[in-house]
Chains A and B, each alone.
Chain A
Amino acid sequence: MTALLSVSGITKNYGAYVGCADVSFDLYPGEVMGIVGESGSGKSTLLNCLAGHLTPDRGEVVFDTRADGPKDTVTLSEPERRMLSRTDWAFVHQHARDGLRMGVSAGGNVGERLMAVGERHYGNIRDKATDWLERVEIDATRVDDRPTTFSGGMQQRLQIARNLVTGPRLVFMDEPTGGLDVSVQARLLDLLRGLVRDMGLSAIIVTHDLAVVRLLADRLMVMKSGRVVEAGLTDQVLDDPQHAYSQLLVSSVLQV
């Protein structure tokens, strides 16, 4: 099996300061990988390098494209990368406001991504948007309302609908459940798990919530000071951490 995403030696420095250093891994179709670590450990820098939001100083991000097979996305031309990010890739931001157009209706938010890949028939766009709102448990009668009138949890679900409507194969998520209250978090986790399973998605999830990775991720990378200190099966890393820092991280979680 070819890896969907093959990352090697990704390095990004901010002047003398290390963002992330020499990160390599392979992600296979259907796999969900979690990246954990404290604030400033380089998780988000890495995610942004992978998703093409930042240009890494060194390294390759090879994605198995539908049309041309494996291609290094770091050296891809800007239009090609943009096309990728609205078809096969999706990015779920921590703050739904960063991933949505707040002045456009919910249906418009979902439909925009469809139009970006060439859909023009208004009826079809609206039907698909309505269908996706229902899949993320937003009442179809809210299709013409702006996201400003939605609660935080609904905005996050709308952002997910907007991202998944074009059937991406790889989803980047930056703290998707951060800032939501726990009952909304649980529902969102269940929704994400179902979507990942039913659509055969691969995903990379950055979070500092170990409970979230345990429930969502198959694999886990632990980062500290820009480097990956430990990687493996999620439950193995959490239940039998090998590195001193992972042991500290796991033992620092408060028991409820």
Chain B
Amino acid sequence: MIELREVSKTFTLHNQGSAVIGVISNVSFTVAPGECVALTGASGAGKSTLMRMIYGNYLTQSGEIRIGDVDIVQAEPREVIALRREVLGYVSQFLRVVPRVPTLDVVADPLRALGVSGADAHSRAEELLRQLNIPERLWSLSPTTFSGGEQQRVNIARGFAHAYPAMLLDEPTASLDAANREVVLTLIEAAKARGAAIIGIFHDEAARARVCDREIDVSCFTPGLAA
């Protein structure tokens, strides 16, 4: 479902003496439907960078990143947008929303973008928010004022609203208590069971051991770090 072939990236900082920083070189791996792969490596090894490249958020200099039959590296913006709407989900570490939009609408938004009716999208959003223990009295409020853990759970609810065939999870269990961590792991297991290909970053080793089938050490691909 997700296939990387000889993927490399450098950052060029034009305004800081044109410094060129190599971050990722020559990464190749594949993730099959129903499989969950963990990216590991020390902080700064390029885990999040690699994940953002797969999402098309960062530009890839060379190589091929195939999600289904679309090559993210070559795709037109509108193809990437369609892919993100239908196929590729991403749960980032931070929630980014239009201010003053109620939580329920934030969570229902990915489904509304797919053309699901307002009522159906809302009932799915309610189900997820209930599952993730967001109190019902908060649903009509904007999540911008919520605590870190609550924002993270709203973000997860939003990311799991649509059954994406491919998902990227950036530390989905960080800043969560034991009960909510359990809920999130159950959601991930359910997504695997329905055949989603998942790439995740987990600092939580127990969580990683439980949901991930394989680990890929990103520091092997970091120029200057590899021995």
Q: For window 91-114 of chain B, which residues contact chain A by CB distance below 8 Å? A: 96, 98-101, 112-113
Q: For window 150-201 of chain B, which residues contact chain A by CB distance below 8 Å? A: none
- Interface SS of chain A: helix, strand, loop or mixed? helix
| B129 to A: closest C-beta gap in Å | 19
Contact with A along B111-150 (1 / 0, CB 8 A): 0110000000000000000000000000000000000000
Please choose the segment from B25-33, B55-63, B206-214, B217-225 that sits at the chain A interface, where 4 or more of its residues have CB less than 8 A away.
Answer: B55-63
On chain B, the residues within 8 Å of A219 by CB distance are: 77-78
A251 at the interface (CB under 8 A from B): yes
| A71 to B: closest C-beta gap in Å | 22
- Please judge, given known A-B contacts A197-B112, A236-B56, A243-B14, whether A31 and B78 are in contact too, CB under 8 Å: yes
- Cα of A190 to Cα of B13 in the assembled complex, Å: 34
- Cα of A236 to Cα of B57 in the assembled complex, Å: 4
Q: Look across to chain A and name the residue whose beta carbon is closest to the beta carbon of B60.
A: A240
- Cα of A251 to Cα of B11 in the assembled complex, Å: 15
B66 at the interface (CB under 8 A from A): no
Interface size on A, residues (CB 8 A): 25
Contact with B along A214-256 (1 / 0, CB 8 A): 1100110000000000001101100110111001100100000
- Please judge, given known A-B contacts A187-B100, A193-B98, A247-B15, whether A28 and B78 are in contact too, CB under 8 Å: yes
A239 touches B98 (CB 8 A): no
A186 touches B78 (CB 8 A): no
B52 at the interface (CB under 8 A from A): yes
A236 touches B58 (CB 8 A): yes
Q: For window 42-101 of chain B, which residues contact chain A by CB distance below 8 Å? A: 52, 56-59, 77-78, 80-81, 96, 98-101
B15 touches A186 (CB 8 A): no
- Cα of A186 to Cα of B112 in the assembled complex, Å: 20
A18 at the interface (CB under 8 A from B): no
A189 at the interface (CB under 8 A from B): yes
Q: Look across to chain B and name the residue whose beta carbon is closest to the beta carbon of A251.
A: B15
Q: Look across to chain B and name the residue whose beta carbon is closest to the beta carbon of A216.
A: B98
- Cα of A145 to Cα of B100 in the assembled complex, Å: 28
On chain B, the residues within 8 Å of A151 by CB distance are: none
A233 touches B14 (CB 8 A): no
A141 at the interface (CB under 8 A from B): no
On chain A, the residues within 8 Å of B57 by CB distance are: 233, 235-236, 239-240
On chain A, the residues within 8 Å of B15 by CB distance are: 244, 247-248, 251
Chosen A-B contacts, 5 in total, with CB atoms closer than 8 Å, are: A187-B100, A218-B81, A219-B78, A232-B59, A247-B15
Known: A189-B98, A193-B98, A219-B78. 4 other contacts (CB 8 A): A186-B98, A186-B100, A214-B96, A239-B58
| 6 tightest A-B CB contacts, nearest first | A244-B14, A186-B99, A240-B58, A233-B77, A219-B77, A186-B100
B interface residues, Cβ below 8 angstroms from A: 11-15, 52, 56-59, 77-78, 80-81, 96, 98-101, 112-113
